[in-house]
Structure 1
Amino acid sequence: MTDGPPLIVTRPEPGNAATVRRAMAMGLDARAIPLFTAHPIDWRPPAPGDFAALLLTSAFAPRLAGPAIADLASLPAYAVGAATARAAEDAGLTVAMTGSSGAQRLLDDMTSENIRDILWLCGRERSEFDPRGAVIAALPCYAVDPVPLPAEWDALIAAPAILLAHSARAAQRISALVGNARAHLSLVAISAAVAAAAGDGWARLAVSEQPDDAAMLAQARALWHKGAK
Structure 2
Amino acid sequence: MKAPLLLVTRPEPEASATVAAARLAGFSALAAPLLRIRPVAVPSGAARLAPDAVLMTSARSAALLRAALPGLALATPVFAVGPRTAAAARAAGFKAVSATATDGQAALDAAVAAGHRCILHARGIDHRQLRVPPAVMLAPLPLYQARAVASLPAPARRALAAGAITLLFSPRTADLFRRLVERAGLLPEGLAIVALSEAVAAAAGAGWRGIEVAHRPQTAEVLAAARRLWQGRCGGAHG
Aligned-pair Cα RMSD in Å: 1.8
Asked if 1:177 is matched to 2:146, the reply is no
Contact kept, 8 Å, 1:172 with 1:197, in 2: the verdict is: yes
Deviations 1:196-219 (A, max 9, x none): 110010111222111121111110
Change (3 A) 1:78 1:14: same
Hey, what does 1:33 align to over in structure 2?
32
- CA–CA distance in structure 2, aligned partners of residues 203 and 153 of structure 1: 17
In structure 2, stretches of 5+ residues that fail to align are: none
The sequence identity of aligned pairs, in percent, is: 37
For these two proteins, the number of residue pairs brought into alignment is 227
Q: Secondary structure in 1 aligned to 2:227?
A: helix
Hey, what does 2:71 align to over in structure 1?
71
Partner AA of 1:225 in structure 2: Q
Q: Secondary structure in 1 aligned to 2:208?
A: coil
Superposition TM-score, scaled by structure 2 size: 0.88
In structure 1, stretches of 5+ residues that fail to align are: none
- CA–CA distance in structure 2, aligned partners of residues 66 and 144 of structure 1: 19
Q: After the TM superposition, which parts of structure 1 deviate over 4 Å for at least 4 consecutive aligned residues?
A: none
Partner AA of 1:118 in structure 2: I
- CA–CA distance in structure 1, aligned partners of residues 3 and 195 of structure 2: 20
Which of 156, 167, 171 is equivalent to 2:170?
167
Aligned pairs for 1:78-227 within 5 A: 78-133=79-134, 134-147=136-149, 149-179=152-182, 180-227=186-233
How far did residue 114 of structure 1 move? 1.9
Change (3 A) 1:60 1:128: same
Deviations 1:94-122 (A, max 9, x none): 24311111111122222122211111011
How far did residue 145 of structure 1 move? 0.9
Contact kept, 8 Å, 1:70 with 1:91, in 2: the verdict is: no
Hey, what does 1:20 align to over in structure 2?
19
Superposition TM-score, scaled by structure 1 size: 0.92
Contact kept, 8 Å, 2:89 with 2:97, in 1: the verdict is: no
Deviations 1:49-94 (A, max 9, x none): 3x21011001121144462343223421111111111111121222
- CA–CA distance in structure 1, aligned partners of residues 97 and 158 of structure 2: 45
- CA–CA distance in structure 2, aligned partners of residues 135 and 181 of structure 1: 43
